[in-house]
Structure 1
């Protein structure tokens, strides 16, 4: 634990200004999971933002900004959001959305214009893993208390599992996927401060918790990553025994989880019922109920929403509807198609790329892809930062089924993780 508090011999060598940054990151990370305390989170984020201007000189910030076109692109993308308010009829909604997305401007300005060295990077990642572990343990205990009190095991699944910290399960699941990547990287690099036995317990808990979150995209993403990691070890590193152990463990672990927690499989059964009727008033399926063809479910709702969204893209292909009119025009598209369920629940687009495309057209989508996905990924590949590349790919996949930028948590998550990866770029050290 000494390494977490930077009191070990190596940690004591970290400069004071970097320790200050570490302390502010710690406060921000913890506040990220405090339910009903957005003011605390915003204050700590504000302090982190201000401190970033004391961390290095304005000259160095300008130099880094010129070298990191991705960061400049992030700022331009945000300015496009502001511009889109001007051609939106619903200016009030537009301004509210701009405020919601402020982290996607402030993180690039703050974190995207500093340099984080290898030692501090690893310490921050270890801290992140510990904060995620704490959040998962607390919410698991809270769910256990409710299960004991009510006898309802459904509190161990999906959104019910993360309600104690005020997080949607799919958002926490993508963070946990990223955390597991960091966890493996820290162990491989020898930077993880705990013993093998403790690490095994932590890893097992993370995997079980991840499965209980019942996020289809993240389960597919994580288990595919484990398979590819085993394949990488066998083919490129010739660690055949280790690779076979990992693959065998993956299969046996998945089977055990399915047998112990069968409700998660309901989320995958929904994929067999992709047909939809806009006018249907069927109930929305849930992991705790039998899946039937006349229900709305996570799969067919998204297909219905995406079709309506694409109709708006065809009407406003270049600059979009404007960020202020996006939801108003989407509701009109729902009404035109007789999508009663979509109107009643005010469904968002459930796709970050489509959301950007509808609101700001192909202009916005190209900017978003370049600044937030493609250029940061190229930086990672050029510097052989495979962990950073994996995190960006995971977030890019997550954007397919969730509109991260429509929620405060999603904006903080994308803004923090991607600019953190960019700030660790080796070519800038």
Structure 2
């Protein structure tokens, strides 16, 4: 009996240790410096080691096809270091991509209480909402000081956190999905004040996302929300009510478009998809005048993608983990793409970025890393996991999301949390956590 009590107490302490580490990692993602995130991940690894039972961990890990896919992707990047010309840059790039190995290993093998995983998701969403409010207030003083309203948009809006708008927009979009999921599952079981609070948080985060003006995140989020609402209406015979919700959502976005035309102008600038590689004009920004002579977010990416495909054709097995930018610059110069060569731009597309670095085999593994969780989301009827993957897959078209710590840590961390939650829901059909959209 004494041994049983001791074992139970140890298991409880370990679970609490996991929970504290989960929360710390989630909150640390919003901090300007990555050092604290690295420390919290090391603490998580320490708890994982103290937990022991490595045989069970190994069995769980080897049965996790998504975890294996991510580990294989990391190993391909590791192999790419050995044939890269710039060894130092290759090692640095591999360090950035360490999450491809760490989180599949830790989260893909550990047995953590499901309520702790779900509370971590909610904590992330609440933290995102609170810190976004702080950022908005701070930026209001910046706008008043500089007398320039453009500081309310894009990277300037999250300067206090030292984040790039494109990655913070993914954080905000995911937070909205978490809160929508929470309301959908618990709407009838919570007080009206809590319902109002969560709906207010969702609307505020939509406002913040609109100000961030990240076109891909905003576009895919609206598409997910609208199609989900329509799908619920058809499924449960409540189409009339869900269409009202869709109309309200559209009206809210239209209202924001009237109040903040700067974001709308960002979308309008995409009308020009033609490009000339020899164009040396700067890219369109909020503070500048929109002109067809300037590069915009779309035609600049299209031009980069053409050059990335040039590199992949010449190097089907990749150029090496550390040589992506050097090879891209060479491809830019071959096409007289001076503007991109001087900026030393990466492909701004994760699929092509992976193809350039570790070739077509790496691209095939990356697709497995994305499509397997999406398949599991459909199989397990997990709306939140499926929506998360659609968000990441869409953003991977316009950004090299795994080439930045802001992207790769976030994606790997929450993907394996969502996979654990989805697996648990499927096995016990827990109504409070499962999603049937």
Q: Compute the TM-score of the two structures, normalised by the length of structure 2.
A: 0.90
Does residue 76 in structure 1 map to residue 72 in structure 2? yes
Q: Secondary structure at the match of 2:321?
A: coil
Query: For residue 361 of structure 1, what is the aligned residue in structure 2?
Result: 359
CA distance change for structure 1 residues 242 and 121 in 2, over 3 Å: closer, same or farther?
A: farther
Q: Name the stretch that deviates more: 293-302 or 108-117.
A: 108-117
Which of 372, 390, 397 does residue 393 from structure 1 map onto?
Answer: 390
Distance in 1 separating the partners of 2:106 and 2:310? 37
- Counterpart in the other structure of 2:404: 407
Counterpart Cα distance in 1 of 2:190 and 2:104: 28
2:375 to 375, 378, 384: 378
2:31 corresponds to 1:34: yes
Helix, strand or coil: the match of 1:399?
helix
Q: Does 1:97 align with 2:96?
A: no
Q: Kindly indicate whether the alpha-carbon contact (under 8 Å) linking 1:114 and 1:423 is maintained by their aligned counterparts in 2.
A: no
Q: Following TM superposition, by how much is the alpha carbon of 1:117 offset from its aligned partner in structure 2, in angstroms?
A: 4.2
Of 322, 326, 329 in structure 2, the residue corresponding to residue 328 of structure 1 is 326
Q: How far has the Cα of 1:379 moved from its partner?
A: 2.2
Deviation of 1:303 after TM superposition, in Å, equals 0.7
Checking the alignment, whether the CA contact within 8 Å between 1:28 and 1:41 is kept in structure 2 is yes
**CA offset at residue 49 of structure 1?**
2.2
RMSD of aligned Cα (Å): 1.8
Instruction: Please point out which of 125, 129, 148 is paired with 1:152.
Output: 148
- 5+ residue gaps, structure 2, are 1-10, 429-437
Shift of residue 145 of structure 1? Answer: 1.3
CA distance change for structure 1 residues 15 and 377 in 2, over 3 Å: closer, same or farther? farther
Matching residue within 168, 174, 179 for 1:178: 174
Residues 10-409 of structure 1 mapped to structure 2, 5 A cutoff: 15-35=12-32, 37-55=33-51, 57-190=53-186, 195-317=194-316, 319-370=317-368, 372-409=369-406
- Provide TM-score, normalisation by structure 1: 0.92
Deviation at 1:18, TM superposition (A): 2.6
Partner SS state of residue 400, structure 1: helix
Counterpart Cα distance in 1 of 2:337 and 2:231: 46
Which is worse superposed, 197-206 or 342-351? 197-206
Tell me how far 1:323 sits from its aligned partner. 1.1
Distance 1:236-1:195 versus aligned 2 partners, 3 A rule? same
Cα offset for 1:387? 1.2
CA–CA distance in 2 between the matches of 1:56 and 1:152? 56
Q: What's the CA shift for 1:428?
A: 7.2
Whole-Å Cα distance in 1 between the matches of residues 18 and 307 of structure 2? 45
8 A Cα contact 1:230 1:242, kept in partner: no
Q: Identify unmatched segments of 5+ residues in structure 1.
A: 1-13
Cα distance in 1 for partners of 2:77, 2:181 equals 36
Deviations 1:262-295, CA, capped at 9 Å, x for gaps: 1001111121111111121212111233311110
